[in-house]
Structure 1
Amino acid sequence: MAYPDGLLGADEHVVVHKHPHWKMLIVPVLVLFVVVGGGSYLAALAAPTDWHVPVWIGLAVVGAVLVVWFTLSPLVRWRTTHFVVTTHRLMVREGVFTRSGIDIPMSRINSVRFRHGLLDRILGCGTLVVESASDEPLEFDDIPQVERVHTLLYREVNDDPRDDRDYRAREGY
């Protein structure tokens, strides 16, 4: 069973399921290239010396720590962050070891807005702002296809089953 199917109610269906936009992985990939390139360069500099083996081991350890901390960790964080719109609620889940999440029933959402600057428009992402019955609006950054998600979420919030063509036909409208 794929995520989030195990979290859904009997008559609940997934409308949108997204991970954050891939732009949040640009810096971790650049760090990977710098660590590998810099480590290779320093290893090549140490090769002609008599103590090159301990230097290589030290470079490998430092490089591995940097790659795990600055590349693998953001990749796993990106992969385990879920933004899900269902027919009944908005769900956001994030985290690896310590999971956190929020569920907002559609009936509690007051308004849905989005914003994106020039770079976000070029990359096709943005920030989704959801105002619910709580005091502060919730902002979800780096949502891919934010305008489409905004439209779908707005439709789900304002969805009236009586607007459905099949419902009207069954009820004789």
Structure 2
Amino acid sequence: MAYPDGLLSEDEYVVVHTHPHWKMLVVPVVLFLIVVGGGSYLAALAAELPWNVPLWIALGAVGGVLIIWWTLAPLVRWRTTHFVVTSRRLMVREGVFTRTGVDIPMWRINSVRFSHGIVDRLFGCGTLIVESASDEPLEFDDIPKVERVHTLLYREVNDESEQDDQERWERR
């Protein structure tokens, strides 16, 4: 899925558009299975009781709330988080009801690093660390194919600085 072209400037194009790695959905899926399995087990136990229908309704309501809170909310959060590298800037957009965003122009980026432990390497993701003119480096966790994204972002930063150098040279 491409990032909406209406949010880009004239000669800007998308280099990378990704969501966080799917590994952040492992725990919500496991919790979903536990809630469904536990609810089914408790519903089967409640079948023997004379007041089983109100108990089933209560179990369904509690199970529904837990599934929405522990599974559906993280899934929507994952789906609405965008990490986008364009030819001119790095953009991160997060949120469903309250959207937040970070835009870093390429010319403000000083360095780009990545890190990934053994689990991240098995899953093929990692943390991208971007140092810009701001006080603290920004860390973006669970970036899929972080080494590839690092390389592409580094190339775009270098291309931007080379273009700036060339424009300054031509003005002299």
**Superposition TM-score, scaled by structure 1 size:** 0.91
Question: Equivalent residue for 2:132?
Answer: 132
Question: Equivalent residue for 1:96?
Answer: 96
Question: Equivalent residue for 2:29?
Answer: 29
Question: Equivalent residue for 1:170?
Answer: none
What is the identity, as a one-letter code, of the residue corresponding to 2:125?
C
- The CA distance in 2 between the partners of 1:7 and 1:77, in whole Å, is 21
Q: State the Cα deviation string for residues 52-99 of structure 1 (Å, max 9, x = none).
A: 101100000000000000000000000000000000000000000000
- The CA distance in 1 between the partners of 2:2 and 2:18, in whole Å, is 13
Question: Equivalent residue for 2:60?
Answer: 60
- The CA distance in 2 between the partners of 1:151 and 1:131, in whole Å, is 15
Deviation, structure 1 residue 4: 3.0
Matches within 5 A, 1:150-161: 150-159=150-159, 160-161=162-163
What is the identity, as a one-letter code, of the residue corresponding to 2:36?
V
Matches within 5 A, 1:1-173: 3-159=3-159, 160-161=162-163
Aligned length: 162
Task: Note the residue ranges of structure 2 that are not aligned, 5 or more in a row.
Answer: 165-172
Deviation, structure 1 residue 29: 0.3
Task: Give the aligned CA root-mean-square deviation in angstroms.
Answer: 1.3
Instruction: Give 3-state SS (helix, strand or coil) of 1:158's partner.
Output: helix
What is the identity, as a one-letter code, of the residue corresponding to 2:149?
V
Contact 2:2 / 2:17 at 8 angstroms: preserved in 1? no
Instruction: Give 3-state SS (helix, strand or coil) of 1:101's partner.
Output: strand
- The CA distance in 2 between the partners of 1:90 and 1:113, in whole Å, is 14
Deviation, structure 1 residue 6: 1.7
Instruction: Give 3-state SS (helix, strand or coil) of 2:126's partner.
Output: strand
Identical pairs, percent: 77
- The CA distance in 2 between the partners of 1:4 and 1:106, in whole Å, is 19
Contact 2:25 / 2:74 at 8 angstroms: preserved in 1? yes
Contact 2:76 / 2:96 at 8 angstroms: preserved in 1? yes
